[in-house]
Amino acid sequence: MYLKRKIDAYLAGWKADPERKPLIVKGARQIGKTESIRRFSEKRYKSVVEINFALEPKYKTITEEGYDVESIVKHITLLDPSKEFLPGETLVFFDELQEFPEIATALKAFCQDRRYDVICSGSLLGVHYHRIQSISVGYKLDYDMYSLDFEEFLWAKGYGDESTEGMLDHMKRLVPFSESEMAVYRQLFLDYCVLGGMPGVVRSYIEKGNFAGSLALQRQLLLDYEEDVRKYAEGLDQAKILSVYRHVPTQLAKENKKFQYSTISKSARAREYQGCIEWLQDAGVVNICYCLHFPELPLKGNYDEAKFKLYYADTGLLVASLDEEAQEDLRANKNLGVYKGALYENLVAEALIKQGLGLYYYKREDSQLEEDFFVRTTNELLPVEVKAGNNSSKSLSTLIRGEKYADVKRGIKLSAGNIGFSNGIFTFPYFCAFLLKRWLEQLGHDDANEETAN
């Protein structure tokens, strides 16, 4: 069973571009990169030359005589004469690129030669990417792939694009969902919360029609990620990386979600963990949310690198890391318990990253003012508050009304409630988080038109 993915449309567009460059698909392990690329290539090329550097290390010798196309093709066909290179009709697929990043040196030659299309893929590419970037800059395209977002999960459940467009239309026109719509989407979103977006987990759930085996699959993925640390974390303290990764759920469960090294060990200091956080982010298994110096535009460069929150890149894996009692409560009773706030906040962080938006929060040291996330239009900064309950949004109101926060005019609250707008606050259900970027684009467009009209 193939799960429709957003990369499908991207790959089709890439193939249609006559000036296409070699493509590198980045992302964490087991998010469906290889499966999607194979499905795309089988439909559009007469010949697919797939080389997996992890399973077939012998191909690491193909650059022995140089990085030009002729030498590489000669060595590949020497090792396997059945591989066909048909000019204009062949895709060369270099998989598990992290095992042999040196092949990226050849992308310039393939780009200039233009006889064969090239796609590279692999997990943990972020860890090696500085080296890959330096030897192929200007001669490649990059695509960041993630586990399924809620829209892709809806596709897997049989919902079409009209469902997504309908949800976005509700947001644009600020029309509340009907009771039946709320009930259906809430249940689907809760299922997605527990499952996460790892394709193997979602596929099992769809095929079986229940959660049987999903926890075992998720926990195996957690073990696989830890094994990657032991295998690829060269030059860093692997035990410290694993300690950080394992402590993310504990940190998120606290009222103050700012990552504190002292929760790992009372004597822990930030300098001792230099590089560990970045390694996990580069590996695609955590997302970093930095604390703004002040809530104003621009966002980039306006944050303190020493103050941050960490989130799991896939909320299903966060759920799978919780204790046994929480597992039973979540899966049997659909009760999020004490982890409710942490899980919904992680889901929103995940949704923002998957839309290509950055993660920023704000905590004013001399008061209770704290805001979970921030997004922006061209000229406006919008704080985003994730509410586990329906209590008031004091920080959100303070930012909107405060004269010192000139870039903040309106805000967004994500909660269990329906759509609404009051006192400058847009309220949306949690399940709308994956549409925020599209909604923001429309909001910015409407504001521009209003300014022009005035």
The larger pLDDT score, comparing residue 347 to residue 237, is at: 347
Rounded (10°) angle between helices 436-453 and 161-173 = 40
pLDDT band, very low/low/confident/very high, at 236 (cuts 50, 70, 90): confident
Cβ atoms of residues 352 and 150 within 8 Å: no
Least confident of 50-54, 309-313, 448-452: 448-452
Mean pLDDT for all residues in the chain:
91
- Tell which residue, 90, 91, 147, 145, has the closest CA to residue 122: 145
**pLDDT given at position 338:** 60
What is the mean pLDDT of the segment spanning 125-132?
64
Distance between CA atoms of 120 and 37, rounded to whole angstroms? 10
Q: What is the DSSP letter of 82?
A: T
pLDDT band, very low/low/confident/very high, at 125 (cuts 50, 70, 90): low
Backbone angles phi, psi at 453, to 5 degrees: -65, -35
Distance between CA atoms of 59 and 22, rounded to whole angstroms? 19
Tens digits of per-residue pLDDT, 311-364? 999 999 998 988 777 666 666 666 666 677 788 999 999 999 999 999 999 998
The larger pLDDT score, comparing residue 210 to residue 383, is at: 383
What is the mean pLDDT of the segment spanning 401-419?
94
Q: Which residues are registered as beta bridge partners of 288? A: 310
Q: Given a cut of 80, is residue 290 above it in pLDDT?
A: yes
**pLDDT given at position 133:** 60
**pLDDT given at position 331:** 67
Half-sphere exposure of residue 230, counting CA atoms within 13 Å on the CB side?
6
Q: Given a cut of 70, is residue 132 above it in pLDDT?
A: no
Least confident of 15-19, 25-29, 304-308, 385-389: 385-389
**pLDDT given at position 211:** 87
**pLDDT given at position 172:** 97
**Alpha-carbon Rg of the chain, whole angstroms?**
23
Cβ atoms of residues 247 and 264 within 8 Å: yes
Pairing of strands 381-386, 411-415: parallel
Q: Given a cut of 80, is residue 153 above it in pLDDT?
A: yes
Q: Given a cut of 90, is residue 202 above it in pLDDT?
A: yes
What is the mean pLDDT of the segment spanning 437-452?
81
Q: In 3-state terms, what secondary structure has residue 312?
A: strand
**pLDDT given at position 361:** 96
* pTM over the 0.95 mark: no
Distance between CA atoms of 33 and 16, rounded to whole angstroms? 20
Q: Over 355-421, what HEC string results?
A: CCCCCEEEECCCCCCEECEEEECCCCEEEEEECCCCCCCHHHHHHHHCCCCCCCCCEEEEECCCCEE
What is the mean pLDDT of the segment spanning 429-436?
98
Sole residue written with tokens 């829209």: 151
Distance between CA atoms of 185 and 177, rounded to whole angstroms? 10
Distance between CA atoms of 50 and 95, rounded to whole angstroms? 7
With a pLDDT cut of 90, the percent of the chain lying above it is 71
pLDDT band, very low/low/confident/very high, at 308 (cuts 50, 70, 90): very high
Q: Which value, to the nearest 10 degrees, does the dihedral of the CA atoms of residues 69, 71, 75, 80 take?
A: 40
What is the separation, in whole angstroms, between the first and last Cα of the chain? 54
The larger pLDDT score, comparing residue 340 to residue 55, is at: 55
Q: In 3-state terms, what secondary structure has residue 231?
A: helix
Q: Given a cut of 60, is residue 454 above it in pLDDT?
A: no
Backbone torsion region of residue 220, taken as left when φ is above 0, otherwise alpha when ψ lies between -120 and 50, otherwise beta: alpha
Q: In which element (H, E) is residue 121 found?
A: strand 117-122
Tens digits of per-residue pLDDT, 242-256? 999 999 988 888 888
Structure tokens at 361: 């929060």
pLDDT band, very low/low/confident/very high, at 388 (cuts 50, 70, 90): confident
Q: In 3-state terms, what secondary structure has residue 188?
A: helix
Q: Given a cut of 90, is residue 221 above it in pLDDT?
A: yes
Q: Given a cut of 70, is residue 31 above it in pLDDT?
A: yes
Q: Given a cut of 90, is residue 137 above it in pLDDT?
A: no
pLDDT band, very low/low/confident/very high, at 127 (cuts 50, 70, 90): low
Give the E-state strand segments of 63-188 in sequence order: 90-95, 117-122, 141-144
Q: Given a cut of 70, is residue 167 above it in pLDDT?
A: yes
